[in-house]
Amino acid sequence: MLEDKSIGLILSGGGVRGMAHIGLIKAMREHQIEAKVVAGTSIGALVGALYANDNSVEDMLKFFKETPLFQYSFFAINKPGFIDTERYFNIFKHFFPENDFKNLKRPLFVVATDLLKGTEKVFYDGELIKPLLASAALPPVFSPVTIDGVLYADGGIMNNFPKEYVDHITDYTIGSNVSITVPLEKKDLRNSFQLTARVTSLMIHASNHEKMMECDLFIEPSELETIGVLDKKGIENAFNIGYEHGSRALERLLAKT
């Protein structure tokens, strides 16, 4: 069914839960399905870049397991944010030594937020690493990234599911959303942090729900809700959840042919 289709892969933001994207990619490869082009935000941009670079699933997981989220020497000084995002540059350089979009094996669209203009910015050519860092710079934990004198931060602020960048160049879309919104109990909203997280989650989901539903194939595993956005202990669990959901979705699709 998909042999003659040009496939676009869309990967949302969502922190450590984004390891489910890698699980989906594993399932796709096991079914001999490859995307022609990728669009991603935040963790989705990072996974998308590794996929566009033709890295193995094992190397993708290794990248996230070995990259420190919180390291004393990375603490920000005279910058907004707790962690200096640009300190990760050399770690990323090891995986992307050419540091250029044109050296990837397939086109990649990376979404970040221009904090000065308050607008969405998509990167797809030129320098690769700084746009990736910017797309994943979740405020207030990670500091914004400066590119050509402009401060950029997490793309999920403006567009957490950038489907529109693949629509015009593909005829079949596969989406993975890991910014999960599930019903809560009253006890789950006891403090300002929980309330802020809930409101942010609802706003992001509402603004992207329609695009998600337009995908030809789509996964949104509710089990990811139990995994903390910045909890590296959840890497394997999120990966396995994504693999299971991706496998089932693809098997259902292929059973129809």
User: How is residue 32 written in tokens?
Assistant: 């001999």
How far from 192 is each of 14, 199, 200, CA to CA, in Å? Answer: 20, 10, 12
Q: Which residues pair with 199 in a beta bridge?
A: none
- Alpha-helix runs per DSSP H in the chain: 19-30, 43-52, 57-66, 89-95, 129-135, 164-167, 192-213, 235-255
Q: Which residues are catalytic?
A: 42, 154
For the chain, the residue count is: 257
How far from 222 is each of 79, 219, 238, CA to CA, in Å? Answer: 35, 9, 11
